[in-house]
Chain A
Amino acid sequence: MSEISGHGEPNGSPAEAGGSHPGPRRVIGTPPPAEARTLLGTGLPDGPQPPPRELPAGPEDPRKAKLAERIVAACFILAMLAGIGFIAAYIGLPVHTVDAVLRSNLALGTALSVAFLGLGVGATIWVRHLMPDVELTEARKPMASTPEDRAAFAETFAEGADASQFVKRPLLRRTLIAATLPLAVAPVVLLRDMGPLPGTSLRHTVWKKGTRLMEFVTYQPLTPADFSSPGGMVTVIPEGYEYDDDELAKAATIIIKFRPEELEKPTVLNWTVDGIVAYSKICTHLGCPASLYEQTTHHILCPCHQSTFDAPRGAQVIFGPAARPLPQLPITTNAEGYLVAQSDFHEPVGPSFWERG
């Protein structure tokens, strides 16, 4: 395939190449004239001579090459030692505690890095300073086939089509297509049992009348007295669902205590207890827990995309990509004085979905 010629060859100029197919030219440097070769008496029989070398046998400067060889060997020895060090570190250094793991990681990683660096540097010096410089030129043919080849292929294709009767017999063709169509749909159908249909599950949470609000992490019920003064935000979850992630992903709630006069519409005051208001913690944008609360401004901030909700005013959106306020959970106190839900949320919590309406 390749015509290869040495550098300095002014090839590719149309005049010399004589079309797209220049004859093979394999010249590197200046080949000795034919007579000289005969005079040297190589003992070769008459007939076609082997082509001259395309790559020089050795580097131009043997002294420099010797130095380079030593450096490369040193790099490889370093890599070998590092490799041994890696194995030694694996055997010698235990893990199982944070400090030990960090020591082991440092030793193993350093050894591995040095081993690969040694190999890389050595190989690079080898290529650049030991292998002789070459620049070869290879001809590039047009990608397209010749018109003859194309025509021949077209003929072969047509012959095959005729022989198969595929074109001539439409009944076969159509029934074959009809036979494969249902099978093409089958894999999609097979995926149907990947999950249940949504139904109304996104519209409800497990909060219901009388469910106690349990503080997240400690799992203790709360009373209004636990909030002696207005302040921070507390995350609560419904009692009995402490470890149920599927339910918590919808039911997580935050409560914030305000001075009663701070609460304004559209906060539903009937759903608050003594200035304590409860909102869904699940951001109405994409469902991250809206975990950040700024006490001075009363802003609830979702850390994922920075939707910001105005806590004393119905958790309305005041900045960011969320389109709806955080739903408010109606709360009250039960006979024992614990904070409980009056009911479920009155609208779906969390991110929007097509059927939400």
Chain B
Amino acid sequence: MSTTKALEGVGGFLDDRFRGAKGFRTFFRKIFPDHWTFLLGEIALYSFIILLLSGTFLTFWFQPSMTDVIYHGSYTHLDGVRMSEAYASTLHISFDVRGGLLMRQIHHWAADLFMAAIFAHMLRIFFTGAYRKPREVNWLIGIVLLTLGLLEGLFGYSLPDDLLSGAGLRITEGVMQSIPVVGTYLAFFLFGGAFPGNVIIPRLYILHVLLIPGLILALITAHLFIMFHQKHTQMPGKGRTEQNVVGAPMYPYFMAKTGAFFFFTFAALALAATFAQINPVWLYGPYTPVAMSAGSQPDFYMGMLEGALRVMVPWEWNVAGHTFSFNVFVPALLPLGAVFTGAALWPFIERWVTGDKRDHHINDRPRNAPTRTGIGVAVMTFYGVLWLEGANDVIADHFDIALYTTTRIAQVAMFVGPVIAYILTKRICLGLQRKDLHLLEHGVETGIIRQLPSGEFTEIARPLSEEERAKLVARTQLRGPAELEAVDENGIPAPATRGAIGKVRARLNTILTESVELTPTNGHGGNGHGGNGHGAGEPARAAVPAGGPQEISAGAGPAASPAVSGGGGAGAVGGAGAVGGAGAGTDGGVAGHSGSADPGSPGDPGPDGPVQ
């Protein structure tokens, strides 16, 4: 065969020198699980490659110099205007280099896509719990990459020295200056004196084209190697366990797919650069500290910082001849700093609270970790409010809202919004879990109504297919080991929950592990099933008065846990379906939270829940 012959030639040459046959065989057969959300990280990776390619092209003409020149180039509207060489060379790339404008726009769009993909990728990792052991370190590397991406973007769009980018630098300088004690010095050192000086663009340039991309490249390499070494996580499904990886092999499947995806990413960026103008610096004019235009927005990934600065109240203290500019350094450092620090610490907080020290390779469906998902959406809401506030002048203009009203709304919404989002999301998750439980117990409603000989009408339910069932039953047990069970059978608190910190930990554990359990049959007739058929968004309290949802996990006895994953649990729940046929028509229920602890308890029907 010709394939074999080719291998003997080149492959033989290389193998004689590097002994790669065995390693490469393993490499070629490495299994990659498939899920559309796994592409988000790939978008970020390919955007970065495109950034390197297009950015290198731009450096051939760009002059990172703040020396003043009088422009006499192709863009006649600015003829005779005094500007920096940086700005003039940007005009030159745009108007005098063939493909220059295209590459500039691809570069800018790729930067936006890079950041958007990182955000989306990070959210996917968070909501599916893919950051858990053993992947915490890669999660931290990801957060550093995101931070570096923000800086890289900020420095990059400052380089053309147009009116907008100069304003961004002015704000950066103002923020630095506001930092207590060292701020003024930091600003003077970075800018080589007073703003704007004549060194900031060359300095940002070398950071933008060498130092930060070098760090990003190194960290991406580490990120990928760790991912490769630890093997990818997989979504729950048939045949997927914590001990295996199910998917297609690297060669040729993953190579071809990911190659195609690189082409699509490049095509999307080329399309955007062709048809969607971005950062037309020639319209803004060169930077001058004297003028500014309305409606000036930073790139989207800076919007949250911008919004935080806008939403802040004017607090400033003067103490003993020194100024504390709370109105600047608090919004500049606190909200984004809290989000990033919180994200970095989260895997360790969750680990401590739940006491869960196991490895996790099967991702959670977000609904199956209601508290985590709720916290995630709450943070997104907080971020989103500030992000929108970063464009409040545009919003006020487009939607005809008074400018100050938008800020006042944001001032309230940044605190209230996350709380509402948390509660709603958690309820929706619990509702979806109940829906899953209902599907497991009763199968899929077919819409076919049959009349029984007795005259009763019933709806025929189709049993779940194996794949569907596997997806629903594959759930990580949220609860950690027994050390955190608040009270053992004899009513004695566990050692880990004693003392003030222990109590906090036990309480957090209860909140964090709140979930609808998949339980064996005997929970079915309990007080959960009767009422509480309202579905998402409705507080479960209506039907479960005694403490409501907290009871669901805290009260579940050890007997409830085997149903977590694998075929055994599926069987047990399948049995529940058979028994529970009578309950058809109720829309889910908190089955089994009375579980083994109190199997015979009579139903505690909610006000409007039908009881059979």
| A in complex with B | yes
B288 with A248: CB separation less than 8 A: yes
B241 to chain A, nearest CB (A): 4
The 8 Å CB contact of B102, one of A105, A122, A192, is: A105
Contact with B404, one of A109, A124, A143, A319 (Cβ below 8 angstroms): A319
Asked if A281 is an interface residue, CB under 8 A from chain B, the answer is yes
Tell whether, in the assembled complex, residue B29 and residue A216 are in contact, meaning their CB atoms are under 8 Å apart: no
Q: List 24 A-B contacts (CB under 8 A).
A: A10-B239, A13-B567, A104-B99, A105-B105, A109-B102, A112-B102, A127-B253, A136-B31, A194-B192, A195-B189, A198-B187, A216-B291, A245-B289, A286-B170, A287-B170, A287-B289, A291-B294, A319-B404, A321-B314, A351-B328, A352-B316, A353-B187, A354-B180, A356-B323
- Judge whether A7 is part of the interface by a CB distance below 8 angstroms: yes
**Do the beta carbons of B323 and A97 come within 8 Å of each other?**
no
Complex Cα spacing A109 to B275, Å: 8
Write out the residue numbers on chain A whose beta carbons fall within 8 Å of the beta carbon of B310: 305-306, 320-321
- Given the complex, which residues of B lie within 8 Å of A55, measured CB to CB? 249
Residues of chain B within 8 A (CB-CB) of A289 are: 289-292
Residues of B within 8 A of A298 (CB): none
A120 touching B292 by the CB < 8 A rule?
A: no
B491 close to A (CB within 8 Å): no
Q: Is B79 an interface residue (CB 8 A)?
A: no
How far, in Å, is B374 (CB) from chain A's closest CB? Answer: 30
A189 at the interface (CB under 8 A from B): no
CB closest chain-A residue, reference B309: A305
Number of interface residues of B (CB under 8 A): 109
- Cβ-based interface call for B403 (8 A): yes
- Is B259 an interface residue when CB atoms closer than 8 A count as contact? yes
Of B30, B188, B289, which contacts A252 at CB under 8 A?
A: B289
Q: Which residues of A contact B242 (CB under 8 A)?
A: 140
Over the window 276-298 of chain B, the binary record of Cβ atoms lying under 8 Å from chain A Cβ atoms (1 yes, 0 no) is: 00000000000111111111100
* CB-CB under 8 A for A286 and B290, given A117-B263, A197-B185: no
A136-B247 in contact given A304-B167, A324-B316 (Cβ < 8 Å): yes
Instruction: Determine whether the beta carbon of B188 is less than 8 Å from that of A195.
Output: yes
> Are B194 and A250 in contact (CB-based, < 8 A)?
yes
Contacts of B393 in A (CB 8 A): 303, 306
Contacts A286-B175, A304-B171: A137 and B230 contacting too (C-beta < 8 A)? no
Instruction: A201 to B306: give the CA distance in the assembly, Å.
Output: 28
Interface residues of B in 54-82 (CB under 8 A from A): 68, 74-75, 82
Interface digits, B182-207 against A, CB 8 Å rule (1 contact, 0 not)?
11110111111111110000000000
Q: Is B327 touching A194 in the complex (CB atoms < 8 A)?
A: no
Residues of A within 8 A of B245 (CB): 137-138, 140
Check: A31 CB closer than 8 A to any chain B CB.
no
- Residues of A280-298 at the interface with B, using a CB-CB cut-off of 8 Å, are 281-282, 285-289, 291-292
**Are B256 and A98 within 8 A (Cβ)?**
no
Chain B nearest CB: distance from A14 CB in Å? Answer: 9
Q: Which of B37-45, B213-221, B265-273 contacts A (4 or more CB under 8 A)?
A: B265-273
B 82-107 contacts with A by CB, 8 A: 82, 94-102, 105
CA distance A341 to B252 in the complex (A): 76
B173 CB within 8 Å of chain A: yes
A→B interface (CB under 8 Å): 1-2, 4, 7-13, 17, 20, 54-55, 90, 93, 95-98, 101, 104-106, 108-110, 112-113, 116-117, 119-124, 126-127, 131, 134-140, 142-143, 191-192, 194-198, 201-202, 216, 235, 237, 243, 245-246, 248-250, 252, 281-282, 285-289, 291-292, 302-308, 317, 319-324, 350-357
For residue B581, CB closer than 8 A to chain A, the reply is no
Assuming A195-B190, A287-B173, is B259 touching A303 (CB within 8 A)?
A: no
Which 10 pairs, one residue from A and one from B, show the smallest C-beta to C-beta distance?
A109-B274, A286-B174, A120-B263, A123-B260, A323-B316, A116-B267, A249-B289, A12-B241, A351-B174, A194-B189
How many interface contacts (CB-CB < 8 Å) are there between A and B? Answer: 310
Q: Are A303 and B294 in contact (CB under 8 A)?
A: yes
Closest residue of chain B to A216, judged by CB? B290
Q: In the complex, are the beta carbons of A123 and B259 less than 8 A apart? A: yes
Q: Which chain A residue lies CB-closest to B84?
A: A245
Task: Judge if B566 is at the interface, Cβ distance under 8 Å.
Answer: yes
> How far apart sit A95 and B95, CA to CA, in the bound complex (Å)?
6
Contact of A245 among B99, B192, B288, B306 (CB under 8 A): B288
A220 to B: closest C-beta gap in Å: 15
User: Is there an interface contact between B102 and A108, defined as CB atoms closer than 8 Å?
Assistant: yes
Quick check: B248 and A357 within 8 Å, CB to CB?
no
Known: A303-B393, A354-B180. A235 touches B290 (CB 8 A): yes
In the complex formed, the residue of B with least CB distance to A54 is B29
Please, how many angstroms separate the alpha-carbon atoms of A2 and B250 in the complex?
Answer: 13
A196 / chain B contacts, CB cutoff of 8 Å: 188, 192-193
Q: Which residues of A contact B175 (CB under 8 A)?
A: 286
Bound form: Cα–Cα A126–B252 in Å: 11
**A323 in contact with B184 given A194-B189, A287-B170 (CB within 8 Å):** no
Q: Which residue of the partner chain B has the closest CB to A1?
A: B26
Cα(A113)–Cα(B100), bound, Å: 16
Q: Contacts A235-B290, A306-B310 given: A131-B252 contact, CB under 8 Å?
A: yes
Residues on B with C-beta less than 8 A from A90 are 98-99
Contact A304 B95 (CB under 8 A): no
Q: Looking at the assembled complex, report how far the CB atom of A40 sits from the nearest CB atom of chain B, in whole angstroms.
A: 19
* Min CB gap A173→B, angstroms: 29
Closest A residue to B77 by CB, please name it: A98
User: Of A95, A285, A317, A350, which contacts B98 at CB under 8 A?
Assistant: A95
A340 to B25, CA, bound (A): 82
Are B295 and A303 interface neighbours, CB within 8 A? yes
**Bound: A142/B310 CA distance, A:** 49
Give Cα A249–Cα B267 distance, bound, in whole angstroms.
43
Q: Besides A120-B261, A194-B190, A351-B328, 18 other CB < 8 A contacts?
A: A20-B243, A96-B95, A101-B101, A104-B99, A108-B102, A109-B275, A117-B267, A119-B263, A143-B359, A246-B197, A286-B174, A287-B195, A291-B292, A304-B292, A304-B296, A321-B311, A323-B316, A355-B184
Whether A142 lies near B359 (C-beta < 8 A) is yes
Provided the pairs A105-B101, A281-B290, A286-B171 are in contact, do residues A11 and B244 lie with their beta carbons within 8 angstroms? yes
B293 touches A351 (CB 8 A): no
Q: In the complex the two chains form, is A352's CB within 8 Å of B328's CB? A: yes
* Contacts A140-B243, A357-B318; A95 near B188 (Cβ below 8 A): no
Identity of the chain A residue whose Cβ is nearest the Cβ of B312 in the assembled complex: A321
On chain B, the residues within 8 Å of A291 by CB distance are: 291-294
A245 touches B196 (CB 8 A): yes
CA distance A198 to B26 in the complex (A): 61
Say if the beta carbon of B527 comes within 8 Å of chain A.
no
**Least Cβ–Cβ distance between B253 and chain A, in angstroms:** 6
| Bound complex: CA A76 to CA B78 (Å) | 44
Using an 8 Å CB-CB cutoff, how does the interface string of B144-182 with A read, 1 for contact, 0 for none? Answer: 000000000000000000000001001101110111111
Within 8 Å CB of A93, what residues of B? Answer: 98
Chain A residues in 8 Å Cβ range of B294: 291-292, 303
